[in-house]
Amino acid sequence: MKHVISPLDLSINELAEVLDLANEIYENPQKYSECCHGKKLATLFYEPSTRTRLSFEAAMLNLGGNVLGFSSADSSSAAKGESVADTIRVVSSYADICAMRHPKEGAPYVASTYSSIPVINAGDGGHNHPTQTLTDLFTIKKLKGRLDNLTIGFCGDLKFGRTVHSLINAMVRYPNVKFVLISPEELQIPNYLRTEVLDAKNIEYKEVKNLDAVMPELDLLYMTRVQRERFFNEEDYIRLKDSFILDLQKLENAKPDMLILHPLPRVNEIATEVDDDPRAVYFEQAKFGVYVRMALIMKLLNITV
Ligand code: CP
């Protein structure tokens, strides 16, 4: 049995297999429509979600399986003080696989140590979000045609943005990938990513405060929202929340084939006027998340068609 807590829990070959299977499912969904008949996915969400929870549920339903779960800590026995360890022991006897989102970093890992079914981390605090990373990788490969030889700009809240941390961890495994990290000083990437990942692997990167100046260099621009829920005080959030707002004027200097990604939800960091630009692929990215999660569920349940 395998759990997916970090994107690095999948080898580069396993990652490629999941992405290839997701593409096969995307091309021919009908072929896979009954392959999880009789299987159940539990969605244990202790923190709000639209895309991740619903795309996991859509994924299992599309595979002919069933879903059960809760969408907030308040509607589960966590509100009465039940531990994640006890919850997963019980859920292991109700479902075949589970996706867990939790505000505490490491909670899905703890769950995996008590679980007798595969646990997928659906986002833990500011730490990791591996299925968003799979979705991002699928989007880049499908729309850009490659995962190597790319200059990727990450813009916004790089301190708390778990999707950024996960994607950096995944992308450093591909050749000639460079990073441009665009954020206010207070929202720069955590130091462990700088020292243990980027510096340790001799990855080319720079940290800047101005998006306009670096825009022409980028093959991909990964925008993120400032994560209000992870700030210790509201004043800091208000001061930093409008640090970067991408609009059509800012895009004038971008490459004609640069892709704009965003894990969503968006607040105001991408003006809605950008949505109709052919480079804006964030809604397509969210759609791809269903196929990637279908592929991951099949792999973890050892289901082949
Ligand atoms: N991208 C993402 O995780 O969105 P949700 O918070 O809506 O699940």
Q: Are 255 and 229 in contact (CB under 8 A)?
A: no
Establish whether 101 is a catalytic residue.
Answer: yes
> What pLDDT was estimated at residue 177?
98
Ligand 1 centre to CA of 122 (Å) is: 9
Establish whether 293 is a catalytic residue.
Answer: no
Gap between the Cα atoms of 44 and 19, Å rounded: 25
Ligand 1 centre to CA of 130 (Å) is: 12
Nearest atom of ligand 1 to the alpha carbon of 50:
7
Residues 6+ apart with CB under 8 A from 301: 36, 39, 96, 97, 118
Ligand 1 centre to CA of 223 (Å) is: 14
Instruction: Output the CA torsion sign for 215, 218, 222, 227.
Output: negative
Tokens in use for 305? 């068609």
> What pLDDT was estimated at residue 161?
87
Ligand 1 centre to CA of 139 (Å) is: 16
> What pLDDT was estimated at residue 91?
98
Nearest atom of ligand 1 to the alpha carbon of 53:
8
Establish whether 129 is a catalytic residue.
Answer: yes
188-232 pLDDT, tens per residue?
A: 999 999 999 999 999 999 999 999 999 999 999 999 998 877 777
* Closest-CA residue to 303 (of 102, 32, 42): 32
Residue 247 — φ and ψ, nearest 5°?
Answer: -130, 180
The series of mean pLDDT values per 10 residues for the chain, 305 residues long, is 92 96 98 98 97 98 98 94 97 98 97 98 93 98 98 95 93 97 94 96 97 97 88 81 92 98 96 98 98 98 96
> What pLDDT was estimated at residue 88?
98
Residues 6+ apart with CB under 8 A from 4: 10, 118, 119, 120, 121, 130, 131, 296, 300
Tokens in use for 228? 């209000």
* Closest-CA residue to 304 (of 10, 25, 16, 7): 25
> What pLDDT was estimated at residue 234?
84
In this structure, the residues whose C-beta lies within 6 A of any atom of ligand 1 are 49-52, 123, 132, 263-265
**Pocket of ligand 1, candidates 44, 45, 47, 49: which has the most ligand atoms within 8 Å of its Cβ, to mutate?**
49
> What pLDDT was estimated at residue 84?
97
Gap between the Cα atoms of 88 and 80, Å rounded: 15
